[in-house]
Amino acid sequence: MIQPLHDYSTAESGHSLDDLSSMLSSIQLNPGEHAEGADDGAQSLVDHAHSIIVNGPPLSMNVELGEGEELPVALHTLLQGTLFAIFMQAGANPDLYDTTAIIDSSMSGQCLWFLCKKFFFSHQVALKDCDRYEFTNATRHHRYITYMGHIYQSRGPLHSRPLFAKLRLPRGIWWSHGGETTIVVTPKGLYGLGDNSYGQLGFDSCEDAPPTRITFPEVPAVTEYEVSLAPWHKDGLVQKIDQSTQQTVVVTPAGSVLSGFGVAWFTLSDRTSRFHTIRLPSGFVPDDITEIGDSVLSMGDRQVIGGANTYGQLGLGHRSRVDGYVDLPFDSVLLAGAFFRIFVSGCQLIFAGHVPPSIAQSGLLPGFGRADICATPRPLQFRSAGPITGFMCEMFYVVWVTMGHTFVWTMKRGSFTLPFEATKCDFEAAKFCQPDGRWVALMSVVNGVAELCSSRPEDFARVIWPVEVDPVRL
């Protein structure tokens, strides 16, 4: 917005704007009368300057209206929420400081917000009041913005310019995310979209789902309760939604239901692409799904566990089938492999399940070899003089952090020690992150000591889980 010229003081010059206006109006530059070589369009420029002084420049906001006057019918006079929706649909990028879009560096997506002050004002208000969610996998970057009940989605290759589009569904009240899966609660019911590869949205199709109404045909009590609600109050069905990357739990006044991976272990059905009633201990109402292993539900400090128990990996001391959920006998689950779990119990890390090469050959579980079954939970034993502050384990590597050092075992390199407390690791690239954020790469291992060199950061490194564990010394 340009400030009107009549707001400026003319005390310093001793002349008024009326004097300037009179002077400009008296200038008449007829073609052929002005100096040779002068632009024949000079008169139009003088007239334009005179018009600005007399009428003032056009304003996009804070326009003072006289009695009986109305705002002009123009784009910039629309409500700010409407303007935001129009610009988002037109391809505007709301992130003015986006440094990820290296494929298109023209800034064309940001320029739209600067066409006038009203547009920029609409952008600033929207970003202050909106909710945002981002999720990145190995190949795609997912962005969501919700503002005034409308959801805008952008999904494209990594480092590409985000192009947002409004999702076609009723105005949302709130939403929930689990990785690439989104559920929106609206006055007209629940809508799901995104990844449904595990049936976590309750749809038959396992492909990427467009916004689709979620129903509960396998749970008559939930369906009947939803039908009893007024047409524009279907959101009253949902008390809470908890999502992981593979499962969805919906808590309703008519009971808790689940859809997705491992439905047969937790419900009375094996049809993963439908919601089913969860078998839970009496009085247990879940308020959270633990991401680790997708099989732990919480209600405050109380946790229940369920799922496959072929190798005793649930930590219950047996290998029998477990139907539904049972109380977790430890403080929490630290991490879960395909056929094993590592639990936290007081100041110990407890192992249960099928022993992977990393645990067997690192010596952390004496008496057990590769592919043995540890159905009775046992504590891991660390060769360390101080407390364990970090831990990470997968099939072919294990790492634990102690005072000033990091101990590592990998299938390719065997055992070696790093002279710092690592915070992240990428074993495919053999790289580690130091406490100050600098990365190093493993060059070789000599007598159990790692030789390192400086390296660039890794975008998809694994975080080493922070723990507070006293080692069981050998």
Residue 29, classed as helix, strand or coil, is coil
Asked which of 381, 407, 435 is the last residue of a domain, the reply is 381
Q: How many angstroms separate the CA atoms of 349 and 340, rounded?
A: 13
Asked which of 341, 356, 381 is the last residue of a domain, the reply is 381
The range of the structural domain enclosing residue 307 comes to 290-381
- Statement to judge: residues 394 and 376 lie in one domain: no
- Statement to judge: residues 275 and 183 lie in one domain: yes
Q: How many angstroms separate the CA atoms of 141 and 157, rounded?
A: 6
- Statement to judge: residues 338 and 303 lie in one domain: yes
Is the Cβ–Cβ distance between 152 and 167 less than 8 Å? yes
Asked which of 279, 314, 330 is the last residue of a domain, the reply is 279
Count up the domains in the chain and report the number: 3
Q: How many angstroms separate the CA atoms of 382 and 376, rounded?
A: 19
- Residue 199 in any domain: the answer is yes
- Residue 285 in any domain: the answer is no
How would you write the pLDDT of the chain (474 residues) with one tens digit per residue? 334 444 445 455 566 777 877 888 888 776 555 555 555 677 888 888 878 777 766 677 777 777 888 888 888 888 888 999 999 888 888 888 765 554 455 566 788 898 888 999 999 999 899 998 888 877 788 889 999 999 999 887 877 777 888 899 999 999 998 888 999 999 999 999 998 988 899 988 767 889 999 999 999 999 999 999 999 999 999 988 888 888 888 989 998 898 888 777 777 776 667 898 888 888 888 877 775 445 788 888 888 998 889 999 999 999 998 888 899 999 999 988 889 999 999 999 999 999 999 999 999 999 999 999 999 999 999 877 789 999 999 999 999 999 899 999 999 889 999 999 999 999 888 899 999 999 999 999 988 889 999 998 877 788 999 999 887 654
- Residue 187 in any domain: the answer is yes
Q: pTM for the complete prediction?
A: 0.67
- Residue 3 in any domain: the answer is no
Measure CA of the first residue to CA of the last residue in the chain; give whole Å. 74
- Statement to judge: residues 360 and 457 lie in one domain: no
The stretches of 195-238 forming alpha helices (DSSP H) are 220-228
Position 248, amino acid? T
- Statement to judge: residues 179 and 274 lie in one domain: yes
- Statement to judge: residues 440 and 453 lie in one domain: yes
- Statement to judge: residues 353 and 401 lie in one domain: no
- Statement to judge: residues 365 and 406 lie in one domain: no
Q: How many angstroms separate the CA atoms of 426 and 305, rounded?
A: 30
Is the Cβ–Cβ distance between 190 and 170 less than 8 Å? no
State both tokens at 24. 């400009």
- Statement to judge: residues 354 and 257 lie in one domain: no
- Statement to judge: residues 459 and 470 lie in one domain: yes
- Residue 50 in any domain: the answer is no
